């Protein structure tokens, strides 16, 4: 594969369909996007790996959202990694690139050395879809289960949407001759869209903690098709997912040629953040004058940093709708009533 072909497929999501099996899916390759996402922060290695996995999942899932919609994935837990948040912004216009951003919050003192899912602890996995200012956002939540972020996403789709879903992911630092080391990620997502689910509410599922799994949703020929496609996906190799020598179209033929794969237009993705002075002003508007006073520095400025891209903002309190003479407590000074 030439370098030009490699670049053409980097930072893209390729949707496809397996006509024989009534299964749809996506192949994603992230290169520069992932480097940009992780370059905004000096995360420890275990946190970097979890953010990389979450960003790859976001690219695969987000490809289905419509123009100008926003899809967010969140993991919140009581573990050392308290929060992982990603956003996928649908293209503004047809043919444009979608945008991805991500960040994590963690307790460095509690963090272990390995990129283990156990670093996350107990909590929930959530998907949110913002369809615009005139629409009520959608939010779905399921418990963390399955031992990986990919398994959490599979459980979410089975439990909340009753859509059998499977991910095969690979990510990490790699190098190409003539280039320095950089992050790369690749993955395949499969989804079976059943005509009707045999699951009866209240029965409980076969997954962890009684959650639903694909086996609870599919039966008969649909179940056989799903199992066959999963066995084929099990044969995928790491270098086929992230290596520069296998194009996504070639990978689909190698894995699923008997399932009659059909590809659609690829979706380019890039790193992007929507923060701006206006948005930060709006977020600060919820605070009281007293809160703004505590946020004001000794030189009379209110500062804020974007957690996604690291942008630093400074404001004169008067431009936020507050008087200049804000009371700023000094060190050791009580901020409560006498």
Residue 195 pLDDT? 62
* Residue of 192, 195, 253 whose CA lies nearest to 226: 192
Q: List, for residues 33-82, the tens digit of each pLDDT value.
A: 999 999 888 899 999 999 999 999 999 999 999 989 999 999 999 999 99
* Residue of 26, 2, 17, 6 whose CA lies nearest to 267: 26
Ranges in the chain, pLDDT < 70: 1-8, 115, 176-177, 194-204, 321-338
> Hey, CA dihedral for 323, 325, 331, 335, is it positive or negative?
negative
DSSP states along 276-316: -HHHHHHHHTTS-HHHHHHHB-TTS-EEEE-TTT--EEEE-
DSSP states along 26-42: EEEEESHHHHHHHHTS-
Residue 5 pLDDT? 43
Tell me, what DSSP letter sits at residue 117? Answer: G
Q: Global pTM?
A: 0.84
Whole-angstrom distance, CA of residue 38 vs CA of residue 36: 6
Do residues 59 and 73 make contact, with C-beta atoms less than 8 angstroms apart?
no
Domains and CATH numbers, the chain: 11-271 (3.55.30.10), 277-320 (no CATH)
Through-space distance between the first and last CA atoms of the chain, rounded to whole angstroms: 74
CB neighbours (10 Å) of residue 334? Answer: 7
- Name beta bridge partners: 315: 302
């Amino acid at each position: 594969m030439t370098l030009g072909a490699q670049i053409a497929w980097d930072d893209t999501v390729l949707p496809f369909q397996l006509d024989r099996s009534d299964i749809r899916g996506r192949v994603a390759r992230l290169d520069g996007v992932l480097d940009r996402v992780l370059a905004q922060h000096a995360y420890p290695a275990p946190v970097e790996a979890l953010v990389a996995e979450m960003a790859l999942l976001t690219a695969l899932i987000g490809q289905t959202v419509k123009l100008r919609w926003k899809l967010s994935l969140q993991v919140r837990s009581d573990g050392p990694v308290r929060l992982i948040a990603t956003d996928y912004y649908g293209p503004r216009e047809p043919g444009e690139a979608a945008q991805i951003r991500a960040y994590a919050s963690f307790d460095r003192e509690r963090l272990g050395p390995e990129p283990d899912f156990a670093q996350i602890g107990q909590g929930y996995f959530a998907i949110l879809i913002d369809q615009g200012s005139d629409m009520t956002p959608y939010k779905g939540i399921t418990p963390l289960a399955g031992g990986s972020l990919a398994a959490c996403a599979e459980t979410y789709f089975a439990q909340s949407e009753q859509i059998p879903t499977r991910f095969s992911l690979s990510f990490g630092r790699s190098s190409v001759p003539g280039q320095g080391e950089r992050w790369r990620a690749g993955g395949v997502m499969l989804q079976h869209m059943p005509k009707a689910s045999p699951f009866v509410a209240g029965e409980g599922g076969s997954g962890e903690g009684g959650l639903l799994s694909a086996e609870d949703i599919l039966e008969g020929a649909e179940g056989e098709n799903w199992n066959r496609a999963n066995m084929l996906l099990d044969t995928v190799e790491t270098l086929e997912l992230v290596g520069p020598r296998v194009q996504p179209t070639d990978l689909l033929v190698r894995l699923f040629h008997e399932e009659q794969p059909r590809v659609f237009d690829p979706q380019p993705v890039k790193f992007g953040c929507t923060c701006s002075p206006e948005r930060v002003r709006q977020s600060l508007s919820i605070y009281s004058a007293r809160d703004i006073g505590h946020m004001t520095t000794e030189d009379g400025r209110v500062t804020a940093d974007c957690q996604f891209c690291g942008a630093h903002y400074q404001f004169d309190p008067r431009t936020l709708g507050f008087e200049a003479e804000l009371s700023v407590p000094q060190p050791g000074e009580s901020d409560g009533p006498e």
